């Protein structure tokens, strides 16, 4: 493809930039498509005279906190360079690395709530760890802005589904309405480029913010497959098909990115790949780590048992020691403890501290006197109202969990499930 196509894209972007005041958002995942998109955008804005660079532009990237370490390092490096270059050249471009809140992290969902590691038909992670942080950020900003334009590096050639989705949405001046955020218009500047066009551009041009794309090319060469786009809505193709997803991803059959990095000498990946196998083991009901009742009380493989969650936490802390990576934070550990108290076979409120204190270098304090006082009080209340103390504890822990995350949606269902469990236990108990 001739260079005029790239020049045309930049000229269109420049014209769009100058057309109105609407702020821009730019999806960046660190993959080839979004790197090319960001590169074209930086060039387009550079071509605008400095006094006219008034439009707020935000490069958005998500970090699930279980991303492959080498990819995180590459992305953080690119974002730092973009930020510096924007300051030096007065581009008015800010960069934002968005992460899920601790209560929605991978480990809190799996080890705390007992969600089974994700699979194709129960991919609970993308919404919570990727889409929600972006939606929340955009909604916050939209409070100040009337409308915004979101640039994405999506291409029709990626898949026939993607081509159909893109062709099926009506455009206005080349922009499509975002399916979930009505005041956001989506622009796909590289929609018609082929993979060869993208690589040709990336390998022939250095990034405006500095650095070339040989490292990126090497990462792609180490593994084959599609790339993980920044997730903006549920119609974006599964990042589980991707090369640059989470190292914990059990949606893909094989994690080719991690395998490729290991083959290229990144020894951290050996441990992480081993742990991915552990997650697969825990997900499979035949291995006995799953409850035989679903979260809603129906028959079928349910959440990880409390024993399974404890075991997984032990193994995760060992992995943390072996790799020297920060895999789980003290805040997540506290949330997990809170959730264990509301589990089917509730923990006494000290289970996490017991496990953590056994591990070298990790200290977690639990105020045992306070815990004992609370437990005595719970027993008194249960006796007074003639209810089972386990049920009371689970319900209190659930309410506390929700109040800590400042939300109430879903609480009624969760409390109902605890009551259902209680009825089930009593029925089973009376049969015995």
With CB under 6 A as the contact rule, the residue among 32, 130, 276, 341 that binds ligand SF4 is 130
Output the smallest distance, CB 316 to ligand SF4, in A. 15
Q: Does residue 126 interact with ligand SF4 by CB under 6 A?
A: yes
Output the smallest distance, CB 262 to ligand SF4, in A. 18
Q: Does residue 246 interact with ligand SF4 by CB under 6 A?
A: yes
The tokens of 176 are what?
Answer: 């499509």
**CB 113 within 8 Å of CB 103:** no
Q: Does residue 57 interact with ligand SF4 by CB under 6 A?
A: no
β 171-172/175-177 pair status: antiparallel
Q: Of the ranges 122-130, 170-178, 293-301, 420-428, which one interacts with ligand SF4 (CB under 6 A)?
A: 122-130
Q: Does residue 230 interact with ligand SF4 by CB under 6 A?
A: no
Q: Does residue 118 interact with ligand SF4 by CB under 6 A?
A: yes
Binding mask 61-80 for ligand SF4 (x = CB under 6 A): ---x----------------
* Burial track 351-366 (b if 16+ CB lie within 10 A, e otherwise): bbbebbeebeeeeeeb
- Taking phi first (over 0 means left), then psi (-120 to 50 degrees means alpha), and beta for anything else, what does residue 324 get? left
Q: What distance in Å separates the CA atoms of residue 189 and residue 41, rounded to the nearest whole number? A: 9
The tokens of 242 are what?
Answer: 């991707």
- Sequence-distant (6+) residues with CB within 8 A of 45 are 14, 17, 53, 57, 91, 92, 93
Whichever of 134 and 175 has its CB closer to ligand SF4, that residue is 134
Q: Of the ranges 92-100, 189-197, 243-251, 390-398, which one interacts with ligand SF4 (CB under 6 A)?
A: 243-251
- Cβ atoms < 10 Å from Cβ of 117: 24
Q: Does residue 239 interact with ligand SF4 by CB under 6 A?
A: yes
Q: Does residue 149 interact with ligand SF4 by CB under 6 A?
A: no
- Cβ atoms < 10 Å from Cβ of 294: 14
Whichever of 29 and 417 has its CB closer to ligand SF4, that residue is 29
Max intra-chain CA distance, the chain:
82
Q: What distance in Å separates the CA atoms of residue 86 and residue 227, rounded to the nearest whole number? A: 26
Structure-derived torsion over alpha carbons of residues 118, 120, 122, 126, reported in degrees to the nearest 10:
70
Q: Map the footprint of ligand SF4 across residues 401-420, applying CB under 6 A.
A: none
Q: Of the ranges 35-43, 120-128, 131-139, 341-349, which one interacts with ligand SF4 (CB under 6 A)?
A: 120-128
Q: Map the footprint of ligand SF4 across residues 175-194, applying CB under 6 A.
A: none
Q: Give the CA distances from residue 342 to residues 37, 174, 220, 301, 402, in Å, rounded to whole numbers and listed in that order.
A: 46, 50, 44, 19, 11
Output the smallest distance, CB 121 to ligand SF4, in A. 12
Output the smallest distance, CB 257 to ligand SF4, in A. 10
With CB under 6 A as the contact rule, the residue among 125, 150, 219, 339 that binds ligand SF4 is 125
Q: Does residue 108 interact with ligand SF4 by CB under 6 A?
A: no
Q: Among all residues, whose Cβ is closest to ligand SF4?
A: 245
Q: List interacting residues with ligand SF4 (CB under 6 A).
A: 64, 118, 123, 125-126, 129-130, 239-240, 245-246, 248-249, 251
């Amino acid at each position: 493809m001739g260079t005029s196509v790239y020049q045309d894209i930049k000229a269109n972007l420049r014209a769009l930039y100058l057309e109105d005041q609407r702020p821009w958002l730019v999806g960046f995942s660190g993959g080839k498509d979004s790197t090319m998109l960001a590169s074209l955008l930086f060039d387009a804005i550079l071509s605008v005279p400095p006094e006219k660079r008034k439009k707020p532009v935000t490069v958005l990237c998500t970090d699930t906190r279980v991303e492959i370490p080498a990819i995180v390092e590459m992305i953080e490096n690119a974002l730092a360079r973009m930020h510096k270059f924007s300051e030096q050249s007065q581009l008015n471009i800010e960069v934002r690395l968005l992460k899920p809140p601790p209560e929605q992290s991978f480990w809190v969902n799996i080890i705390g709530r007992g969600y089974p590691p994700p699979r194709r038909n129960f991919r609970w992670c993308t919404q919570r760890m990727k889409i929600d942080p972006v939606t929340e950020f955009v909604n916050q900003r939209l409070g100040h802005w009337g409308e915004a334009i979101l640039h994405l590096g999506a291409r029709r050639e990626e898949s026939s589904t993607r081509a159909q989705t893109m062709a099926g949405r009506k455009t206005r001046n080349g922009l499509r309405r975002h399916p979930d955020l009505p005041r956001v218009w989506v622009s796909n500047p590289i929609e018609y480029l082929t993979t060869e066009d993208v690589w040709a551009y990336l390998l022939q041009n250095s990034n405006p913010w500095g650095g070339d794309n040989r490292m990126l090319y090497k990462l792609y060469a180490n593994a084959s497959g599609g790339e993980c786009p920044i997730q903006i809505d549920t119609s974006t193709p599964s990042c589980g098909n991707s090369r640059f997803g989470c190292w914990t991803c059990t949606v893909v059959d094989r994690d080719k990115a991690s395998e490729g990095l290991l083959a290229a000498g990144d020894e951290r990946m050996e441990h992480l790949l081993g742990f991915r196998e552990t997650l697969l083991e825990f997900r499979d009901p035949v291995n006995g780590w799953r409850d035989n009742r679903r979260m809603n009380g129906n028959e079928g493989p349910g959440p990880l048992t409390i024993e399974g969650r404890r075991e997984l936490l032990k193994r995760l802390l060992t992995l943390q020691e072996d790799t020297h990576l920060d895999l789980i934070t003290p805040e997540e550990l506290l949330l997990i403890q809170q959730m264990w108290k509301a589990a089917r076979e509730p923990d006494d409120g000290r289970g996490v501290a017991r496990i953590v204190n056994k591990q070298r270098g990790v200290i977690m304090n639990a105020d045992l006197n306070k815990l004992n006082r609370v437990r005595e009080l719970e027993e008194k209340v249960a006796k007074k109202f003639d209810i089972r103390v386990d049920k009371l504890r689970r319900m209190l822990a659930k309410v506390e969990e929700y109040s800590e995350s400042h939300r109430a949606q879903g609480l009624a269902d969760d409390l109902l499930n605890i009551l259902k469990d209680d009825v089930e236990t009593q029925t089973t108990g009376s049969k015995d």
